[in-house]
Amino acid sequence: MHEVCDCAWRRAAERALARALACVALLAPFGAGAETAIKGTVADRVSGSPLGGAEIEARRGGTLLGRAISDPADGSFLVTVEVGDSPQAVNLKLFVTRQGYQGEDQDIVVVSARPRPQASSVGLLRRALADCLSKTRARWVVVGHFRPPLGLPDDGGFSAGVFDAVRWELSKIADTSTVAPEQRPVVANCRDVDEREFLAAAARVLGADVLLAGGVSRPPDRPRFTVSMFVGDQHGLFATRTSPILSRDVDLEDPSASRLDAGAAAAILQALLTGYLKAGRVEDCVELARRAGAELRPLPPELARLGEQCAGALAANGLRGGTR
């Protein structure tokens, strides 16, 4: 009798042990075990400069597995997590945040304690640029930050004045054209965008034909303002230009009375027409070049060449007037 009971007890103990071992086996890939090192770098997406002080978190679902801060010198980071060394894939998510920037996340797959990708390169976008992206359109001009005259507060008023002047200048051409309203260029006020040293790169990130930034001054012998405008574009038209385009005697208090310098208007239109041409919207390009010729007299040579190029593409396509 003793022997029968002893055997029954042993069998129950063996079943309990088997269940416990099965649970351990199931939990092994996500429990303690081999450490996995997730490394990478964080940089500004526009300038490419390394970003220190970014917070990096590795998570599996809602569980935080590891955390690190990017190095100020080179933006590098190393997050150590424990997910075991099972050949079964473990899916993690890397969250990267930094003050003043839009957060980014990246998928990481760990197999046999090795992360894929082996090193993560994360580019963060400044919050001002990320906010500006929400205003995007097929063809658009971004008016960024314009610094006020010396001694005046930088409250955004002068940036808004330049925005109004640019919008009024373009409306005289686009809004009186036969281009469909949804295909006309849009001017966006993004006064917190101030990537002056990297205007072309910022324009590419934004998908903008033109990105403008600069400053405003008031000469002592003149009643109105001088606008110094740096031009960045995603087409590489002004990549080698280092000096601003000046527009003198601009009335920033009354946009309808203001007049940008012909060189400033021509630069904006050159980038816009190039965008229409590259997008295959040659009819719209021809029409806007025609309207530019009516407003800018004499028509700058670069705009005349673009108009002819668009007209040639129009003829080659066998199209006749109107807009698509």
Each residue's pLDDT tens digit, 84-133 = 888 999 999 999 999 999 999 999 999 999 999 988 999 999 999 999 98
Helix (H, G, I), strand (E, B) or coil at 314: helix
- How many whole angstroms separate alpha carbon 186 and alpha carbon 302? 22
Task: Report pTM.
Answer: 0.80
Position 259 confidence tier, pLDDT thresholds 50, 70, 90 = confident
Q: 117 or 14: whose pLDDT is higher? A: 117
- Per residue in 283-301, pLDDT tens? 999 999 999 999 998 899 9
Asked if residue 277 lies in contact with residue 285, where contact means CB atoms within 8 angstroms, the answer is yes
> Who's near 25: CB < 8 A, 6+ residues apart?
none
DSSP conformation class of 307: H
Average pLDDT, integer, range 225-243: 93
Position 134 confidence tier, pLDDT thresholds 50, 70, 90 = confident
Residue 221, pLDDT score: 77
Q: 107 or 317: whose pLDDT is higher? A: 107
Residue 255, pLDDT score: 67
- Per residue in 167-210, pLDDT tens? 999 999 999 999 999 999 999 999 999 998 999 999 999 999 99
Query: Is the pLDDT reported for residue 257 higher than 90?
Result: no
Residue 15, pLDDT score: 53
Q: Burial letters for 232-259: b for 16+ Cβ neighbours within 10 Å, e otherwise?
A: bbbbebbeeeeebbbbeebebeebeebe
Helix (H, G, I), strand (E, B) or coil at 7: helix
Ordered DSSP codes for 71-137 = -TTT-EEEEEEE----SS-EEEEEEEE-TTEE-EEEEEEEETTEEESSEEEEEEEEHHHHHHHTT--
How much is the mean pLDDT over the chain?
Answer: 87
Query: Is the pLDDT reported for residue 20 higher than 60?
Result: no
% of the chain residues with pLDDT over 70: 86
Query: Nearest-5° angle of CA 232, CA 159, CA 226?
Result: 80
% of the chain residues with pLDDT over 90: 70
Query: Is the pLDDT reported for residue 258 higher than 70?
Result: no
Task: Find where tokens 């109004």 sit.
Answer: 164
12-21, 49-58, 111-120: least confidently modelled range: 12-21
- How many whole angstroms separate alpha carbon 193 and alpha carbon 126? 9
Task: Name all domains of the chain by residue range, CATH numbers in brackets.
Answer: 30-126 (2.60.40.1120), 135-316 (no CATH)
Average pLDDT, integer, range 76-88: 92
Query: Is the pLDDT reported for residue 228 higher than 90?
Result: yes
Residue 318, pLDDT score: 65
Residue 200, pLDDT score: 94
Residue 85, pLDDT score: 86
Asked if residue 145 lies in contact with residue 193, where contact means CB atoms within 8 angstroms, the answer is yes
CB atoms closer than 10 angstroms to residue 285: 26
- How many whole angstroms separate alpha carbon 170 and alpha carbon 267? 12
Residue 131, pLDDT score: 93
